Amino acid sequence: MSKREKKPLKRVTELHETDEEFLKILQFTGWVSLLVGVGLLAFLGYLWFIDDNHQISIAGFTIDISTSLVTVMLFSISTCAFSFGLVDLLRKDITKKKQYFLSWIVGEFLLALFGIFSLAAYQW
């Protein structure tokens, strides 16, 4: 063990106005993704459990349970989790904003790529 005392981390308690707006935008993105995901989950639950045909017709368009609907729902809910996780990390330590944001963007990109390719492979 070293005899040198470790200095405690200095936390930034005061956020700039632009950082606060950035966090609000990320939270709004998370809430919209959550609403879309839960709405699709409720719609798919209705089609699966209540409707006997497992499809619904609205103005001549037929919507049924498909892999693309399930993929959009899963992507939306995971985007919500990523957004809220990023906001939580940034509230704890805003000094690493660029590093956290780049990691978030790369994670979203890889998730989207995985979702698109798995959907394409499943439908192929």
pLDDT tens for 91-119 read: 888 888 889 989 989 998 998 898 888 88
What range does the domain containing 68 cover?
Answer: 18-123
Task: Give a yes or no: residue 46 inside a domain.
Answer: yes
- The number of domains in the chain is 1
Establish if 12 belongs to a structural domain.
no
Which helix H or strand E contains 97, and what residues bound it?
A: helix 97-123
Determine if the pTM surpasses 0.85: no
| 116 located within any domain | yes
In a domain, 10, yes or no: no
Average pLDDT, the chain: 83
Q: Which residues sit opposite 24 in a β-bridge?
A: none
In a domain, 2, yes or no: no
Distance CA 81, CA 37 (A): 11
**Is 119 contained in some domain?**
yes
- Mean pLDDT, rounded, for 46-71: 78
The answer to whether residue 5 is domain-embedded is no
In three-state secondary structure terms, 72 is helix
**If you average pLDDT over residues 34-58, what whole number do you get?**
84
Residue 43 lies in a domain: yes
Residue among 107, 58, 59 at smallest CA distance from 85: 107
Contacts of residue 69, Cβ cutoff 8 Å, sequence gap at least 6: 40, 44, 63
